[in-house]
Every structure is written in C-alpha cells, then in structure tokens.
Amino acid sequence: MMQRMPHPLCKCVGLLITAAAALASGDGRAQPSGAVPTSPPAATAAPAASATGATSGIATSGITATSTADEDLRQILAAASVDDALLAKFISGKPADDAERRPTLTVLAALRGFTPTDLDRFAHPARGKADLAAPAARGRIWQLRGKLKSLVAEVISEEEFSRLYPAEDGAPPPADPRRSVYRGSMVLEGGETAEFVSLTAPKGLRDKPRPETRIGLAGLYVKDTAPDGAAPLLIARRIAWYDDGPLGKLDMDLGLFDDVREHSSDLKVERECFYQLLTALRRGDLATLADATNADYSVEPLFNDPDSIRGKLIALEGRARRAVEVRVADVDIRRRFGIDRYYEIALFTRDSQNNPLLFDVVELPAGFPLGDDINEFVRIPGVFLTGFTYHRDATIEERQKGLKPPMQKAPLLIGKSPIRVDYRAPDESFSWWIGGAIVLGAVLVGWSAWRMLTSGSRARRMRDDVNAARTAGTLNSLPGDYSSKPDFSNLRDVDK
C-alpha cells in the first residue's frame, strides 16, 4: 500500500492569495494550501504552490479587499517602477527602437514576479484592436490569442541579465535561453497583427519556428507600432503554445512541459502543468480520447526514456489495484479551473514488471470502487507528466528487520477517466460449438504428439527441449522498485 508523500504545504503569499483569495473563500480568510487528507491516503498530494512561485516578489502594500483588479495592478506595477512616467517612454505611432529597450526590460522584470494566478486575475480578454482602442487600455494586461507570425531571440547583455534575474550569481552562457528575450508578432483572432516581447518562449518554438501555430499571451499593452494603431505592442512574461495535436486542440499549453522535471516528490514546480493538463483532458470526449489511442503501448519508455514520451497522449491497460480520492483545498485552483478533487489510480500492466503506474484522473465510471485493495480491469487514455517519487509502506520482511523502506518511484500520468475492460465469456449461444471445437482440437493434437514422442531420437530431443529449464524468471518475480530501472530487453517496443 502506498502512502502520501509528506511535504510542506506552502501558503501562497502572492497577491491573489493575500487579497483576492480571501474574497473567493467567502469568509475573508485565506484557505490552506495542498490536499485535504482522504482515507486511504494517495501517493501524490494535491500539488501546492512552490515557495518561489507563490511569493513572486510582487509588492502587495496598498491592496485592499475593496480595490479593483486594475487598481491593484497599477499599484503593483508602480512598486516595480512601471508607472506613468515609464510608460510615457514608449512612443506610439512608430516601431520599437533602442531607446525603448531599457523600459522594456523594466516591464519584463516586473512581470517576471507574476504567477499564473495573478495574470489570470488581471488579464482582460481581447480579440482585436477594437478592444485596445480605449485610452484606458494602455497600461493594462490583455489576454491575446492568435497564430504565430514571427519569433526572434534577442540576446541580452550580462548587465541586462542581472536586472531580469537579480538572484542569479552571474550570467549563464549566451546559449542559455534565459540570455535572450523573444520578440515576435502574431495574427489575432480578429485578423489584425499584434507585436510582442516575451521574457521566455516554449522550447518547441525556440528550436523550430512554427509559423501559423496557435499561441497566446497575457501582456502589458504599452504602445502601437503603427500610426493607425493597427499594430499594438505588448510585453509578456511567457508565450503559451497550442499545437494542432490532440492536446493543443484541447487548449493545453504545451510550453508548460518545459518546466517539468524528470522526477518530482512534491509536484510544486509542475503544479501549473498538472492542473492545466487535468483541465484539458476534462474537456476531451472520452470516446475520442480512446479512438486517438487505439493502439498497443509499451511502458518501457516511461521508465527508460521519459523525455521521448512526455506530453504525448497514450493509453495503458491493466489491473487497477488502488483508487483513492484527492481533494484540492487551494482556493486559486478551485476558482481558476473548477477542480475540487481528482482520483488517483495505481495501475499494473502486463509489462510493468510489478511496478505501479500512477494515473490522476478527473472522474470515475459509475460504481467504480474506491480503496487500496481493488481489482478492476481498465484501459486509461492519458499523458505522461513525470516520474513521481514517494514513501511507500514497508514490506513484511522490512518490518521484521526494522528496515526503512526505500523511496518508491512510479511514472505519473494524467487522464480523464478509466475505461472498464470487459473480460466476460463469449455469448452462450456460441459456447457449445466453441467448446466442442477446442476438445476436438486437443484430441487431435494429443494423438499427434503421442505418435511423435514414441518414435526414437527425435522424440527424445523433443522431450529435452520441452523440459529444458527456463533462463529467466517471470516479470512478476522482478523487484518492485525501479531505482535501477527494469530490464525491458526481452520486450518488443510496440509503441514505436
């Protein structure tokens, strides 16, 4: 049986948790962060906000429960030196130039401290330039969607790097993606062009330009780069990327996978990706997800080559031996995504060598049992996130010897729901005929085998081959912990 991985439950002290989250709770009090314990406990607790992602460096002085989001934003930006005087340095009606480089870096440094929750609160949706035409639009954060038109990396100096990342001890080499900011343009949903400067860009877009791919951003509107106001310029913390694959069509931001670690014991860094992935798969139709994964998949890449399969939609089939509910207490997650619980399933497949695979899903079929001793045949379409490391219960031998059990590692996948696999017998109308055919076949095979086994040296060689000792044990006899990785050399990769 698996236990919850103990971890510190961080209380968000960023803007939304100090002010807006208290309002969302309904009683003026901020809610605790992390999971509400359930019984039996899950291996993965609901991911809490990371310490760095929660505090964010955003100043919250002057924020009150009665102030509007735009008023709060002005105060926060002003505390980071992004005020009316700085915005006046962006001259509308002409392209961006070197005189605006320093103000641009000041805005980027300020936006770097914003969490996804902060941006979600402050961003106004915009479809085109009509939404940005009002005089008050400048200095606000706007949420844009459209298709990528161009993207260019601009290398920053060591001094500029220290302004953007003051906590870093020295600047990394120029090849490091943090040594660049990313300037580009996009065609909005209304058909107009917008320009942007972003602190970061998804690896998939940095490595290979993908014009026409769908992107999004939440950026501060600072000026127009054309005399007629047809080319607004926004400065953003990051670019969201939605490709044409199954996940992109469900509005999953693939750029979030860039922050996912190979192994995690708390999912703090992966928190945003975790919940956005749950939300995206909740949008999907289960039958469509099943059709998209109508193939045989091996678990081997999950253990031995995780980078090759991270973020890809697959499906695994086996026995669900455990299913528990995990409740989400974080106010920002409940408000942003509408997720107040999910379910964790421990799945064992025929080729996982007795290693568990963890699936976190947003729903269960009607009547699906909960508990730590179930036995359900299921197939689960899902997406691999990371290798999760957690404390497991001691075995009988470990308890007898007083040994502390080692950390257990299991691939963590995110899905919508398990699909029950029906292994019932064929229809009774065919059972007699099938049974008769099997018996007749067995008689014929037995008679032929008797004839061969009673005929000289050939029969003796045949008996020797049949009775020869096996050179390896069964898959289930192998160790349950894969700290040294299972040996899949005897298996065919069926998912290539």
Q: Which residues contact 441 (CB under 8 A, 6 or more apart)?
A: none
Q: Are strands 193-198 and 232-236 parallel, antiparallel or unpaired?
A: parallel
d(CA 349, CA 488): 13
Of 207, 148, 202, nearest to 175 (Cα)?
207
Give me the pLDDT at residue 132, please. Answer: 86
Q: Which residues contact 244 (CB under 8 A, 6 or more apart)?
A: 213, 214
Look up residue 245 and give its amino acid: G
d(CA 62, CA 462): 88
Of 162, 183, 172, 60, nearest to 114 (Cα)?
60
Helix, strand and coil in the chain, % to nearest 5:
35, 25, 45
Give me the pLDDT at residue 436, please. Answer: 59
Give me the pLDDT at residue 392, please. Answer: 76
Give me the pLDDT at residue 422, please. Answer: 82
Q: Are strands 35-36 and 407-415 parallel, antiparallel or unpaired?
A: unpaired
Look up residue 303 and give its amino acid: F
From first to last of its 496 residues, what are the pLDDT tens digits of the chain? Answer: 333 333 222 332 233 223 333 333 333 322 223 443 333 457 677 787 654 444 344 655 445 555 689 999 999 999 999 999 999 999 999 999 999 999 999 999 999 999 999 999 999 998 777 888 887 899 999 999 999 999 999 999 999 999 999 999 889 998 999 999 999 999 998 889 999 999 999 999 998 878 899 999 999 999 999 887 678 999 999 999 999 999 999 999 999 999 999 988 889 999 999 999 999 999 999 999 999 999 999 999 999 999 999 999 999 999 999 999 999 999 999 999 999 999 999 999 999 988 899 999 999 999 999 998 999 999 999 999 999 888 777 778 888 999 988 888 899 999 999 999 986 544 444 444 555 566 566 666 665 655 554 444 433 332 333 233 332 322 233 233 444 445 444 444 434 4
Give me the pLDDT at residue 286, please. Answer: 97
Q: Which residues contact 428 (CB under 8 A, 6 or more apart)?
A: none
d(CA 411, CA 358): 6
Give me the pLDDT at residue 446, please. Answer: 61
Q: Are strands 419-420 and 407-415 parallel, antiparallel or unpaired?
A: unpaired
* Residues 415 and 381 sit within 8 Å (Cβ to Cβ): yes
Of 379, 378, 384, 318, nearest to 350 (Cα)?
318
Q: Within a 13 Å sphere around the CA of 166, how many CA atoms are in the beta-carbon half?
A: 10
In this structure, what token pair is assigned to residue 109? 């440094």
